[in-house]
């Protein structure tokens, strides 16, 4: 937006904003959750055990009972095909992969990895946080008092020059959060080169872990899915499988509240996880695993189901992107992506206005993710990034929310250029 356009845009956007406020909207475009229509796609999971009298899984265990600490083989096979980790090195959890991540960080903290001192006895420990990133990753690190170092995200993945330099020089760096496919929130998928560079890291810390959160590994918004190079296979080549902790879940395949999660890693770390998990529980919810297997069958079943999700959510992404293009495009005050998968549109508004945009939206009845949430400590140094989550609201509501968003982006930019106090 040019300075001389700003006055005109300010007047127009203020008027429009007032009109929108009068509608007294009450809309939420904040969290990446599936809509009810998407959840309905997996109702077959609930039917799968109906009237069934046989509950044994392929290793002979009765899924109704105790046992099989790492989860039933058929479900581990599905996660193996999703993540590239051999099924014997996959451990299943209950509905939340985030809980497994928390548990693994907790393990580093209380007991340590690879025979190293627990992190809690090593003084200050640090994690690398490619940013913008997933706020709940940062919340886990903050909970344990781990110092977070923001790493810039590029189109091919995080800044690997910076990661290599830091990890190879600083023994107190113990982990790096990654969402390698259809990343939250940038939507990008790590390039082959980035995956290889991760596998080739030579960390100063022997207990360094790449936390590979593959939450969106099958979540394409196109007919064909992008292929992410397997970190596990690349690490096999470098002999560093134990540097990985690879996560996935069916939260956005079946039900976030009642799905199955998984963690895969190298054989030594797997043994460490085994020791902890077998102390913690006599086994996860195998009936849930069994009904997921009966419903999904295999990775092809998963992919077919994801096409059903795509048909519901792709038009929602399209609507927001088209409205941004039409109403904000060409003004040079904001940028957004057109993601090929995942759950978010990554919006960068004029520097110094993200908080104001979120505030204006809120006052007009549209709740967005807090500005700054996508950065460690909630601190976006440029105050520019906003995560848009279009999956949950019905399309009519999304349209109204996007109207407010577009006006708020323009109004906040004009205010900034004209130096008008909010
Ligand atoms: C990157 C990422 N990881 C993990 C999760 C949560 O996964 P789960 O439901 O398996 O705990 C989310 C949910 O939004 C996510 O975006």
**Predicted local confidence at residue 402, as pLDDT:** 97
416 Cα: distance to centroid of ligand 1 (angstroms): 35
For the residues of 169-190, what is the DSSP string, one character each?
H-TTEEEEEE--SS-TTT----
> If you take atom 2 of ligand 1, which residue's CA is the nearest one?
215
4 Cα: distance to centroid of ligand 1 (angstroms): 44
> If you take atom 12 of ligand 1, which residue's CA is the nearest one?
215
In the predicted structure, residue 51 carries a pLDDT above the cut 90: no
165-219 pLDDT, tens digit per residue, is 999 999 999 999 999 999 999 999 999 999 999 999 999 999 999 999 999 999 9
158 DSSP assignment: E
In the predicted structure, residue 234 carries a pLDDT above the cut 90: yes
266 Cα: distance to centroid of ligand 1 (angstroms): 22
| Substitution candidate for ligand 1 out of 96, 130, 251 with most atoms within 8 A of CB | 251
94 CB-near residues (< 8 Å, 6+ apart): 260, 261, 284, 285, 288
Q: Which of 220, 157, 219 is nearest to 190 (CA)?
A: 157
Q: How confident is the model at residue 3 (pLDDT cuts 50, 70, 90)?
A: confident
Give the predicted TM-score (pTM) of the model.
Answer: 0.97
Mean pLDDT of 294-305: 98
Ligand 1 atom at minimal distance to the Cα of residue 256: 9
Structural domains of the chain sorted by starting position, each given as residue range(s) with its CATH number in brackets: 3-30+303-417 (3.90.1150.10), 50-297 (3.40.640.10)
**129, 151 in Cβ contact below 8 A?**
yes
Name the strand (E) or helix (H) holding 348.
strand 345-349
Q: Which of 150, 120, 140, 126 is nearest to 204 (CA)?
A: 126
**Predicted local confidence at residue 422, as pLDDT:** 60
In the predicted structure, residue 421 carries a pLDDT above the cut 90: no
Q: Which of 398, 413, 408 is nearest to 360 (CA)?
A: 408
Q: How confident is the model at residue 1 (pLDDT cuts 50, 70, 90)?
A: low
CB atoms near residue 64 (< 10 Å): 11
For the residues of 97-151, what is the DSSP string, one character each?
HHHHHHHHHHHHHHT-STTPPPGGGSSS-EEEEEES--HHHHHHHHHTT-EEEEE
What residue ranges line ligand 1, CB within 6 angstroms?
Answer: 32, 96-98, 134, 179, 184, 213, 215, 249, 251, 256, 261
Mean pLDDT of 64-77: 96
**Predicted local confidence at residue 31, as pLDDT:** 84
State the Cα angle at 316 between 315 and 318, rounded to 5°: 60
> If you take atom 6 of ligand 1, which residue's CA is the nearest one?
98
> What burial letters (b/e) apply to 94-121, b meaning 16+ CB within 10 Å?
bbbbbebbbbbbbbbbeebbeebeebee
**Predicted local confidence at residue 5, as pLDDT:** 87
- Cα separation of 346 and 8, whole Å? 27
Using CB atoms within 10 A of its CB, is residue 210 exposed (0-12), middle (13-18) or buried (19+)?
buried
Name the more confident of 62 and 422. 62
In the predicted structure, residue 2 carries a pLDDT above the cut 70: no
In the predicted structure, residue 154 carries a pLDDT above the cut 70: yes
375-408 pLDDT, tens digit per residue, is 999 999 999 999 999 999 999 999 999 999 999 9
26-37 pLDDT, tens digit per residue, is 999 998 999 999
Mean pLDDT of 297-314: 98
Q: How confident is the model at residue 59 (pLDDT cuts 50, 70, 90)?
A: confident
- Cα separation of 201 and 197, whole Å? 6
Average pLDDT, the chain: 96
């Amino acid at each position: 937006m040019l300075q001389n356009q700003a006055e005109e845009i300010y007047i127009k956007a203020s008027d429009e904003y007032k009109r929108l406020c009068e509608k007294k909207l009450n809309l939420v475009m904040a969290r990446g959750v599936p809509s009810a229509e998407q959840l309905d796609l997996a109702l077959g999971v609930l039917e799968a055990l109906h009237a069934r009298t046989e509950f044994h899984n392929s290793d002979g265990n009765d899924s109704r009972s105790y046992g099989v600490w790492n989860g039933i083989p058929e479900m581990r096979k599905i996660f193996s095909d999703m993540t590239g980790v051999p099924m014997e090195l996959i451990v299943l959890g209950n509905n939340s992969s985030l809980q497994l991540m928390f548990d693994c960080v907790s393990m580093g903290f209380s007991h340590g990895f690879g025979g190293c001192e627990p992190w809690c006895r090593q003084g200050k420990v640090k994690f690398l946080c490619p940013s913008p990133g997933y706020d709940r990753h940062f919340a886990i690190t903050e909970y344990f008092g781990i110092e977070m170092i923001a790493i810039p995200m590029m189109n091919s993945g995080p800044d690997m020059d910076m990661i290599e330099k830091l990890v190879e020089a600083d023994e107190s760096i113990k982990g790096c959060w990654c969402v390698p496919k259809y990343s939250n929130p940038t939507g990008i998928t790590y390039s082959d080169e980035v995956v290889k560079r991760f596998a080739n890291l030579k960390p100063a810390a022997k207990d360094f872990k790449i936390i590979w959160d593959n939450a969106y590994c099958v979540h394409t918004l196109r007919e064909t899915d992008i292929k992410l190079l397997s970190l596990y296979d690349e690490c096999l080549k470098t002999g560093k499988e134990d540097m990985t902790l690879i996560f996935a879940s069916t939260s956005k395949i079946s039900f976030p509240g009642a799905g199955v999660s998984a963690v895969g890693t190298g054989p030594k770390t797997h043994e460490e996880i085994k020791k902890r998990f077998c102390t913690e529980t006599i086994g996860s919810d195998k009936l849930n695993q069994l009904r997921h297997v009966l419903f999904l069958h295999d990775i092809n079943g998963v992919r077919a189901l994801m096409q059903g999700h795509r048909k519901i959510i792709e038009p929602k992404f399209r609507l927001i992107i088209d409205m941004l293009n039409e109403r904000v495009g060409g003004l040079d005050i904001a940028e957004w992506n057109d993601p090929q998968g995942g759950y978010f549109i990554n919006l960068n508004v004029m520097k110094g206005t993200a908080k104001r945009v979120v505030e204006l939206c809120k006052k007009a009845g549209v709740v967005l993710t807090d500005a700054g949430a996508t950065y460690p400590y909630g601190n976006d140094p440029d105050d520019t990034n906003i995560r848009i989550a279009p999956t949950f609201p019905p399309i009519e509501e999304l349209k109204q929310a996007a109207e407010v968003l577009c006006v708020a982006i323009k109004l906040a930019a004009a205010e900034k250029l004209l130096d008008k106090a909010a």
